[in-house]
Structure 1
Amino acid sequence: MSVFERIKKLSDKRGISLQKVAEDNDFSSNLIYRWKKSDPKGKDLAKIANYFHVTTDYILGLTDDPSVPDSPERKLTWRDLGQNYGGDDPVPDEFQTMIDSLAEGYFKAHPELKHKNDE
């Protein structure tokens, strides 16, 4: 799926026109349509990603997960854990609780790692 197609899909999902998306982002009315044949500038891509609350990687087609990391909508997936069998299916809440407990215990046992990550 191209950049244009991803943006079109996002705008359709919201029920807004591409002209409205362009207008809301202070773009010329046809700029997004030009992305059918050319790549957007990084700053324009970032504006669109912010507008739709997705990552630039999603718009570029580098991932199929549109959610922004650390977003409340993003859930840990099996693929995040290196498990192919579950793919992009979310990890069940019970398992997520176990992972959180393991991580908490690990950092309690190794406080130097927590401080290292804070730097």
Structure 2
Amino acid sequence: MQELIAISDVASNGVQRGHAVFMWLALGAIAIGIIGSTHAPFKSRTRSPDSIERWFYWTGCVTACIFVFMSQWPDVARALFGAIGGGLALVAIAFLRTNHLKVGGRVYAAFDIFRRPDRPPVLGSDESQ
């Protein structure tokens, strides 16, 4: 019986370490999303810088929510609470502080300054040459 307890202790420590890894991955995904959404990391002939920044933000948010869910996985209630709560917080941040909440071609933002149309693509098109 003592051996079984020791094995279960090791298993629970391993699971806890696994939870921490997923939380660090979630933090990294949020960091990449925020950094990529402040300045477009690359230029495009077809996509505006706002579109590229928006793509980085939402990709980082969705990835982070998935990692938060996975970090709490055995407890489904906590996993859903963390993922949905984090997702709602990130949507609220996008609504209050950015122009990243765009649905059907319309930007939804709390303040007029963020409701501007997207900037044109940085690189000129080949047709103009």
Do Structure 1 and Structure 2 share a fold, with TM-score over 0.5? no
- Which has a greater percent of helix? 2
- Greater relative contact order (Cα 8 A, min sep 6): structure 1 or 2? 2
> TM-score normalized by structure 2?
0.22
> TM-score normalized by structure 1?
0.23
Which has more radius of gyration? 2
